[in-house]
Amino acid sequence: MYYLQDLNPVQRQAVESGEGPLLILAGAGSGKTRVLTYRIAHLIARGVDPWHILAITFTNKAAQEMMDRIISLVGSEARNLWVSTFHSACVRILRREISRLPNYSRSFVIYDAADQLALVKECLKVLNYDEKKIAPKAVLAVISEAKNKLLDVDSFEARAQDYFQEKVAKVYRLYQRKLASNNALDFDDLIMLTVKIFWENPDVLEFYQERFRYIFVDEYQDTNHAQYVLVNTLAQRYRNLCVVGDDDQSVYGWRGADVQNILDFERDYPEAKVLKLEQNYRSTQKILRAANEVVKHNFNRKEKSLWTENNEGENLVLYKGWNEHDEARFVVRKIRELSDLEGRPYADFAVLYRTNAQSRVLEEHLMKEGIPYRIFSGIKFYERMEIKDILAYLRLVHNPADRVSFARIVNVPKRGIGKSSVDKILEYAEEQGMPVLDALGEAAYIPGLGSRAVNTVTSFYQMISRFREEAAKGIPVTVLTELILKETGYLDVLRAENTVEAEARIENLNEFLSVTAEYDNNMEEYLEDAELQAEQNMLILGGFLEQVSLVAEIDNYDEGEDAVKLMTMHSAKGLEFPVVFSVGWEAGNFPSGRSILEQYLLEEERRLCYVTITRAKERLFLSYAEQRMLYGRIQDSLPSRFLQEIPPEVIDIESGEKEILGRVFGRQRAEDRSWQPESGITDSGSGKQNSGTVWGGGSSFSRDKGWQEKSSPVVKSNPDTFRVGDKVEHPKFGRGIVMAVKGEGLAAEITVVFNGEVKKLIAEYARLVKL
DNA sequence: GTGACCACACTTTTT
DNA sequence: GTGTGGTCAC
């Protein structure tokens, strides 16, 4: 085959190896996507009907790309392939099969995190549980975890261990009932209920097993138990399961992903062939060296060594910023420099951070410098208020049982239907067991509703009904959306506001209309696919809502755009960039403070570190800030331990000293001053400069000892001063790490973790010694 | 039923 | 420091 020439021997083997289970352990940048696409193309070329192939990717964007590549390899007959994410694939199956479950219908909607939270709160209220004692978010987390493990309400309840879990079980039961009565599914239901249908309906399972004779799963290390069961159930009949992954890149443990799935593949399929892709085509030797060395510190991993024939490359650069603004200025300055000197387009650069909150400062400085950028995380487009509002309208039109959407927009814009009326309506609908929208039609019968309220409610009902009629005619989503925006007065209200914010909201709504327009244009394709002619017209709207609820921010990633990309380390997985900046390498931020206590959490952070480093092709700049504004407070921190794990000979240290001195005597002085601690937690509080590292010789990196503090010419820290991250020793508790410092001087309350035990100590009395 | 004001939680990562 | 959600007065 002509295309096999671009492959190395192992890759080629992976592409050509025949039927049966196959595990491909693919290191970062080893060309796994290429192998996957070629293997699928190869299969088709050998005469396998694309109809029989299912490929699961991690994002919708990856799915789209893979589809395009395969089509370019084997032609348009590949259209019959299913390439999608787990969630999209399940929605597609559920649209056909959900009537197998009682209480759901095809017009179901998908609830996002905010909708789920609203529903859980509703449940807590009904059960009379105090939100203060039982945090809705915690409940949701437990429910989600249960669903990821395929524990339905009954099995969860049976296993409930303690008081909290028993309460959660009650909420879970009600929550699930409410979801059904709203004809809604949450993200985890998509997987769990699909599996349930397979298990309870052998004919359905057999149909899909016959259909999907060849199954591919990318990023297998990030599958959770439910996804694992789904895939393995489907693959049972033909056993043509090909999974690709890298245990070193498993970074979604916190949402239920289980690395064990990939580690156990050979146990699950003893006849499996196993191939390792270890040649990296992406990064320079030095970048790869750094990545390898860091990840070696993990104990729980499969031993492997990634190598490359690429150039040695330049050293990594570590920048010591003295606060987050200094750090951001460094990034901006470097981007300017590399773009001016080397003529790099802005699209070459990516800035990666651990937490979304860090994007703000970067954004501020990029904007100031007029550098085009794009953020792929943070407040998502579909989470904006106005977008959620218009979506709620569309969802209610599509699914008249959707109480959460109803409650959201029944009084938006204000039309005099207040909280008490809404409660009465919801209660009535529940009692009658009817969709909320139908209840509105009977407003006159709802007990306790005044005659004024009956009128307003009725006219609201008539308005939504009109929208429903239009939707049933199959008008484009764009036209429907425009109609809603106009008829509800939503747009008028915004216009009348005449503020910058309202302006931005209108702008966003226009953006939304371009999303709907794009969808409408692609509609033909969808209709062909929709095998349910009877409900076709409603499917137009349904298809749109479905698409919208399953997009991730990263799916909007546009390579062609000449802009610096900002995103979390997690979002960057699967991507690569010529030049990578990664900021905020401080203890407590990265690795995150919550991970320090548990070895397995720390190892996941370290894998995230590995992922981050291996995103870079040519240059990698790391940075940290000695002080960072967190929570409206200034916090001191130490460099991340991961920095010490990078071999010193491949990294150069640059510090902000010169820059800072220049600024101190220049115009920036006042500005920078404002970040100095005024009070609070940062130091011993006497107004002196903090520990002096920035000003004096600072800390330094030594080959055999790692990070070392040079004695500072300014102020040596007072022995009573502890900082977050300090290692300490206590006569009774032994060694520990400082987690938090509250207050100052002798009265400071210091939180220390000793051997997994958290203690709060007062500086004056605890005989703590800094190590 | 509406709007203003205050308290407080929030920061890990997302399909 | 910011955004949300709850309470209170009109």
Positive or negative, the CA dihedral A178, A179, A180, A184 is: positive
Length of chain A equals 771
If phi over 0 gives left and psi between -120 and 50 gives alpha, with beta otherwise, what is residue A768? beta
Annotated catalytic residue A481: no
Distance CA A348, CA A62 (A): 20
Protein-proximal nucleotides of chain C (any atom < 7 Å from a CB): 1-2, 4, 6
Q: How far is the CA of A410 from the C1' of B8 (A)?
A: 28
pLDDT reported for residue A164 = 84
Distance CA A734, CA A728 (A): 8
Long-range pairs for A756-765 at CB < 8 Å and ≥24 separation? Answer: A756/A597, A757/A733, A759/A730, A759/A733, A761/A730, A763/A720, A763/A722, A764/A720
Distance CA A758, CA A372 (A): 45
Query: Six-digit token pair at A374?
Result: 């794009």
CA-CA-CA-CA torsion for A233, A234, A239, A243, nearest 10 degrees?
A: -90
Close Cβ partners of A662 (under 8 Å, ≥ 6 residues apart) = none
The residue with tokens 């990594």 is A316
User: Looking at this protein, which amino acid is placed at residue A209?
Assistant: Q
User: Binning pLDDT at 50, 70 and 90, where does residue A22 land?
Assistant: very high
Among the options A12, A13, A16, A33, which is catalytic?
A33
Residues contacting nucleic strand B by the 7 Å CB criterion are A 58-59, 85-87, 112-113, 135, 137, 187-188, 251, 254-255, 354-357, 377, 411, 414-421, 453, 550, 552-554, 567-568, 570-571, 592-595, 601, 630-632
Q: How far is the CA of A455 from the C1' of C10 (A)?
A: 25
CB A309 within 8 A of CB A345: no
Annotated catalytic residue A57: no
pLDDT reported for residue A300 = 84
Express each pLDDT in A70-126 by its tens digit: 999 998 888 889 999 999 999 999 989 999 998 899 889 999 888 898 888 888 888
Annotated catalytic residue A260: no
pLDDT reported for residue A664 = 39
CB A737 within 8 A of CB A753: yes
pLDDT reported for residue A556 = 73
Residue nearest C1, CA–C1′ metric: A632
Among A383, A395, A384, CA closest to A481: A395
Residues contacting nucleic strand C by the 7 Å CB criterion are A 121, 131, 385, 631-632
Among A351, A329, A328, A246, CA closest to A572: A351
Among the options A189, A219, A247, A636, which is catalytic?
A219
Q: How far is the CA of A134 from the C1' of B9 (A)?
A: 14
Express each pLDDT in A118-172 by its tens digit: 888 888 888 888 877 788 888 899 999 999 999 999 999 999 888 888 889 999 9
Long-range pairs for A64-71 at CB < 8 Å and ≥24 separation? Answer: A65/A33, A66/A33, A66/A36, A66/A37, A66/A40, A69/A37, A70/A37, A70/A40, A70/A41, A70/A44
Q: How far is the CA of A97 from the C1' of C3 (A)?
A: 41
- Highest mean pLDDT pick, A5-9, A208-212, A472-476, A626-630: A208-212
Nucleotide nearest to A118 (CA to C1'): C5
pLDDT reported for residue A330 = 94
Among A314, A262, A252, A315, CA closest to A601: A252
pLDDT reported for residue A498 = 79
Q: How far is the CA of A416 from the C1' of C10 (A)?
A: 16
CB A30 within 8 A of CB A279: yes
> Residue A693: pLDDT above 50?
no
Across A249-274, average pLDDT = 92
Q: What's the DSSP call for residue A741?
A: E
Protein-proximal nucleotides of chain B (any atom < 7 Å from a CB): 1-3, 10-15
Q: How far is the CA of A550 from the C1' of B9 (A)?
A: 28
CB A642 within 8 A of CB A590: yes
Close Cβ partners of A320 (under 8 Å, ≥ 6 residues apart) = A623, A624, A626, A639, A653, A654, A655, A656, A694, A698, A699
Q: How far is the CA of A402 from the C1' of B15 (A)?
A: 21
Query: Six-digit token pair at A110?
Result: 């998908």
Element (H, E) at A353: strand A349-353
Express each pLDDT in A309-346 by its tens digit: 999 999 999 999 988 999 999 999 999 999 999 999 99
Nucleotide nearest to A251 (CA to C1'): B13
Distance CA A460, CA A369 (A): 49
Nucleotide nearest to A85 (CA to C1'): B15
> Residue A646: pLDDT above 80?
yes
pLDDT reported for residue A525 = 53
pLDDT reported for residue A763 = 63
Q: What's the DSSP call for residue A577?
A: E
Chain-centre distance for alpha carbon A645: 27
Distance CA A770, CA A64 (A): 54
Annotated catalytic residue A32: yes
If phi over 0 gives left and psi between -120 and 50 gives alpha, with beta otherwise, what is residue A755? left
* pTM for the predicted model, two decimal places: 0.81
What is the rounded average pLDDT for all residues in chain A? 83
Annotated catalytic residue A218: yes
Across A536-551, average pLDDT = 83
Nucleotide nearest to A384 (CA to C1'): C3
Give Cα separations from A86 to A79, A92, A383 (angstroms).
18, 10, 22
